[in-house]
Amino acid sequence: MSEQDAWSAEWPVLVRVPVEPVEAAMEADAADAAARHSALAVRGPLFGVAAQDPDRDGGRRWRVIVEVTHGCPQQARDALNSQLWFQAKDQTTSRQERRALLTAVACLETEDVDELTVLDVRYRVVRAEEYAAIDEHGGIETPRPTDPEPPTPDWSPGASARSPRVDDGLVLDPDAPLSPLQAAERVALRPLAYSGTSFPAPVLADSARAVQSHPDVLLMPAAFLIVERSGDGPWSPGSGLQATAHDARRTLDFALTWMEPRTRGLIPYDADTTVDARRPPTATTDQAAAELRELAEAADRLRAGRCNQIEVHGTVYRIARSRRLLRWGPHGPETPRPSDTSTHAPTALHPRLGEDGTVHFDEPAGGEHAS
pLDDT in tens, 152-199: 888 987 777 788 899 999 999 999 999 999 999 999 999 999 998 889
Other beta carbons within 10 Å of 28: 14
> For 91-146, how does the pLDDT look when each residue is reduced to its tens digit (9 = 90+)?
988 999 999 999 999 999 999 999 999 999 999 999 999 999 999 888 899 999 99
- pLDDT for 3 equals 57
Most confident of 72-76, 154-158, 231-235: 72-76
pTM of the model: 0.91
Give the residue with greater pLDDT, 75 vs 368: 75
The whole-angstrom separation of Cα 235 and Cα 318 is 9
Please spell the DSSP secondary structure of 359-371, one letter per residue.
Answer: EETTS-TTS----
The pLDDT of residue 364 is: 57
> For the residues 343-371, what does the mean pLDDT come to?
80
**What is the predicted pLDDT for the residue at 262?**
94
The yes-or-no verdict on residue 334 having pLDDT over 90 is yes
- pLDDT greater than 90 at residue 361: no
The pLDDT assigned to 369 comes to 52
Q: Is the pLDDT of residue 225 over 80?
A: yes
Strands 121-134, 171-172: pairing is unpaired
Length of the chain equals: 371
| Confidence grade of residue 213 (pLDDT, cut at 50, 70, 90) | very high
Please give the average per-residue pLDDT across 242-268, as a whole number: 94
Q: Of 194-208, 249-263, 353-367, which range is least confident?
A: 353-367
Using only C-alpha atoms, the chain has a radius of gyration, in whole angstroms, of 23
Residue 56, pLDDT score = 82
